Amino acid sequence: MIKQNMAKKLNNLVYNYLKSKNINEDLKFSIEVPPKNINADFAINAAMLIAKKNKTNPRLIAQELIDKILKEMSDLVEKAELAGAGFVNLYIKNSVLYKELVTILAEKENYGKVLNNNEKAMVEFVSANPTGPLHIGHGRGAAIGDSLARILKHLGYNVTKEYYLNDVGNQMRVLAESTEIRYRQLKGEQVELPQDHYQGGYVTDIAKRLILEDKNIKDIDFKAESVKDIVETIKNDLKDFAVEFDNWFSEENIASVKDNLGQTQVDKACQYFLSKGDAYMKDNALWLASTKFGDDKDRVLKKSDGKYTYLASDVAYHKNKFERGFSKLVNLWGADHHGYVARIKACIQMLGFNKDKLTIILYQLVSLLRDGVPVAMSTRTGEFVTLKEVVDEVGKDACRFFFLLRSPDSPLEFDLELAKKHNSENPVFYVQYVNARCSSIVKESKNRNDIIRDINNIDLALLNTKEERDLIKQLSAFCDTLLLSEKLMSPHCFTAYLIELADKYHAFYEKCRVLNEDSKLTSARLKLVESVIIIIQNGLTLIGVSIPDKM
């Protein structure tokens, strides 16, 4: 938490500096880790921002800030220097690094945790229609959503992971018909399956199961039986992918279940809009006046044939979320839902809720490669490569890690052969190997009787090489990565962080022999290695990747 502590003190310092100059500004300056060619721990641009607003020399302001920093932050800062047009480069004291190392060793899996947040947050993700198995696009959404939920939980949120089952509407009718036709075909009837129906072999498997149960066709609810089998498959595939939901919410709950007045939740949401003057009848259809709240055109809630649209159900579902007490909603949608964002935000505002309480993450598609060559994503029958196929080939860990290598809004190329490699070219192997190597060192150290185990009796000041210092700084950046992931609403920050941590560790390993003749130095370096194990394990846990101690 070094950067966070620095930021807090620097913000107070700059605020007081502005006040002393009678400058009434809320200055949003940055505290960054400078490029690798600059030998400093942090750099701030406050002087240049102040100078721009007041048309003064930024280097003069920077020098004044340096004087104040050295005087008021001497407990943290060893040195502060003027750089370039007015940057201030900061060098933190080694004692600060050692203190952070002690904190990591003491807090272990709780390092970086926030205890007193407890805001109720719902992360709704995957939510694939129960019409077939999950494909790799759904897998990317699953990895992002589950990892983000883990990160938010670490930051103190009371998180619920929810899967929304769209088990109402025309697609369910078509699914039921598809299963019934396959059932009849297996019974010997001459009946064709239309091209616009579900062609996948899984539909035939459902029909086979129903035949084995020897039920009379008149007693079979083909929709319920189809959804049951498909949802079971989805749950199993997600479990193998280390994703389990706290709640499975059926659309039928809001679209079909009626209260004692004979109304569904969808009915009540639409009536609410009518009562507020935010909906109107036109051409025998019910329209939502969503343009009043930022949408590009008004939308149909109820068609002239009396059937509700998907929007009506989605509005009722989001209303239900708020009414269950969730104050932070996170939805993960495929990028093809881009045009739906403004619409649903407008609806939330029209319902009387704060639209900023909803964050919608749009994630791009995945393209498969094999040794750099594109792989066909679907067959002649239109069946996509399933999540299960990819997990079975490359493993859950590689699959999750690769899905998180890019921010959700970036397209992702997934090379199957690279994901299977057991060398440093494969990023998940590269990171996991750090834990295995560290675990091996700790295990070997148990044969030594001259090693000091009590942190209070270890001289951490012996950790004074550049590689050791860089490694401790990277360990402390775990907390910054948590906050960055929350700010960006993306767990890809952690794969990047862990790869950089692995880089720093391997550099340390090459230059600094841990188990050596000097027992005091060995003791200090062992504590550093133990800290690496803690942070690697914390980071991999947050993205749902396993932590092998042998590889």
Contact (CB, 8 A) for 452 and 519: yes
Q: What is the pLDDT of residues 436-464, one digit of tens each?
A: 999 999 999 999 999 999 999 999 999 99
CA distance 400 to 22: 52
Percent of the chain at pLDDT exceeding 70? 99
Mark which of 224, 240, 256 sits at the end of a domain.
240
Identity of the amino acid at 445: S
Q: For residues 328-346, give the mean pLDDT.
A: 93
Pair 103, 15 in one domain: no
Q: Which two tokens stand for residue 366?
A: 């995945």
> For residue 519, what is the domain's CATH number?
1.10.730.10
Question: Could you tell me how many residues make up the chain?
Answer: 551
CA distance 176 to 70: 73
**Nearest Cα to 397, choosing from 419, 417, 378?**
419
In a domain, 309, yes or no: no
In a domain, 39, yes or no: yes
Q: For residues 111-124, give the mean pLDDT.
A: 90
Mark which of 215, 240, 265 sits at the end of a domain.
240
288: phi then psi, degrees, rounded to nearest 5: -95, 130
Q: Could you give the count of Cα atoms lying within 13 Å of 260 in the half-sphere of its Cβ?
A: 0
Alpha-helical segments (H) within 155-286: 170-186, 201-212, 222-240, 252-255, 265-275
Q: For residues 457-479, give the mean pLDDT.
A: 97
In a domain, 462, yes or no: yes
Pair 450, 533 in one domain: yes
CA distances from 280 to 90, 274, 284, 314 (A): 61, 6, 10, 19
CA distance 343 to 35: 42
- Beta strand ranges found along 371-524 (DSSP E): 373-374, 412-415
**Model pLDDT, residue 381:** 60
Pair 432, 528 in one domain: yes
In a domain, 323, yes or no: no
Q: Report CA torsion sign: 126, 338, 496, 421.
A: positive
**Model pLDDT, residue 293:** 85
| Locus of tokens 């935010």 | 278
Pair 87, 111 in one domain: no
**Nearest Cα to 368, choosing from 415, 404, 430?**
415
Q: Which residues pair with 523 in a beta bridge?
A: none
Mark which of 194, 216, 240 sits at the end of a domain.
240
Q: Is the pLDDT of residue 383 over 70?
A: no
Q: What is the pLDDT of residues 245-277, one digit of tens each?
A: 999 999 999 999 999 999 999 999 999 999 999
Residue 506, helix vs strand vs coil = helix
Pair 188, 77 in one domain: no
Q: Which two tokens stand for residue 432?
A: 């996991």
Pair 109, 60 in one domain: no
Q: Which two tokens stand for residue 90?
A: 């900061």
Q: For residues 398-404, give the mean pLDDT.
A: 98
Q: For all residues of the chain together, what is the average pLDDT?
A: 95
Spatial neighbors of 177 by CB under 8 A, at least 6 apart, are: 197, 222
Pair 439, 533 in one domain: yes
Pair 25, 107 in one domain: no
Residue 375, helix vs strand vs coil = coil
CA distance 435 to 549: 6
Where on the phi/psi map is residue 98: left (φ > 0), alpha (ψ -120 to 50), or beta? Answer: alpha
CA distance 290 to 313: 15
Higher pLDDT, 489 or 37: 489
Question: Within 10 A of 39 (CB to CB), how many other CB atoms are there?
Answer: 10
| Overall pTM > 0.85 | yes
11: phi then psi, degrees, rounded to nearest 5: -60, -45
> Where residue 519 falls among pLDDT bands split at 50, 70, 90?
very high
Q: For residues 455-477, give the mean pLDDT.
A: 97
Q: What is the pLDDT of residues 63-104, one digit of tens each?
A: 999 999 999 999 999 999 999 999 999 999 999 999 999 999
Contact (CB, 8 A) for 147 and 161: no
- Cα 26 off chain centre by: 31
Q: Which residues pair with 42 in a beta bridge?
A: 90
Residue 435's domain comprises 98-115+422-542
Question: Within 10 A of 19 (CB to CB), how many other CB atoms are there?
Answer: 10
Pair 439, 524 in one domain: yes
In a domain, 139, yes or no: no
Percent of the chain at pLDDT exceeding 90? 90
Q: What is the pLDDT of residues 358-375, one digit of tens each?
A: 999 999 999 999 999 998
> For residue 27, what is the domain's CATH number?
3.30.1360.70
Higher pLDDT, 385 or 146: 146
CA distance 191 to 108: 63
Q: Is the pLDDT of residue 382 over 70?
A: no
Q: Is the pLDDT of residue 288 over 80?
A: yes
Q: Is the pLDDT of residue 426 over 80?
A: yes
**Model pLDDT, residue 509:** 97
Pair 106, 212 in one domain: no
CA distances from 443 to 208, 439, 508, 526 (A): 54, 6, 19, 11
Q: Which two tokens stand for residue 306?
A: 């009396």
Q: Look at the chain and report how many structural domains it folds into.
A: 3
In a domain, 38, yes or no: yes
Q: Which two tokens stand for residue 43?
A: 């750099």
Pair 536, 443 in one domain: yes
Q: Is the pLDDT of residue 36 over 90?
A: no
In a domain, 313, yes or no: no
Pair 85, 107 in one domain: no
In a domain, 454, yes or no: yes
Rounded-to-10 torsion of CA 209, 211, 215, 219? 80
Contact (CB, 8 A) for 80 and 54: no
Q: Is the pLDDT of residue 379 over 80?
A: no
**Model pLDDT, residue 380:** 54
Specify the pairing of strand 373-374 against strand 412-415. unpaired
